[in-house]
Amino acid sequence: MEEIRMYSYALLETGCYYLVQEKEDSPVTLIKITVDTDHCLYVTRYAESPVMEWKKKNDPIFDILELLSDDKVQEWQSVYNDEDAYYEEDDE
């Protein structure tokens, strides 16, 4: 039987980008922790457009797949920003 891991947002550090899976069957999501309070974190979730939301530190995360290195963040940002420019051109 496979071991079930459960993490929480409390493990994540401000200013860092993570690839996470909130639930066992959910897709992999890129998030950035932007603000850390005593009980909560302000999280930016990157999908088609950024979604910002508060999460309680004890909210569960099924898996923290990876902490992105600065190089990988820059690589991702160049691709993500290029896609934004592509969609804006289509709107005209």
Tell me, yes or no, whether 48 lies in a domain. Answer: yes
CA distances 86 to 30, 57, 67, 79, 82, Å, are: 20, 36, 28, 11, 6
Whether residue 41 lies inside any domain: the answer is yes
Residue 1 falls inside a structural domain: no
With a CB cutoff of 8 Å and minimum separation 6, the contacts of 91 are: none
Per the structure, the count of domains in the chain is 1
pLDDT per residue rounded down to tens, the chain (92 residues) = 555 667 999 999 999 999 999 999 999 999 999 999 999 999 999 988 899 999 999 999 999 999 999 999 999 999 888 765 555 544 44
What domain range includes position 70? 7-91
For residue 23, being part of any structural domain is answered with yes
2 in a domain, yes or no? no
DSSP 31: E
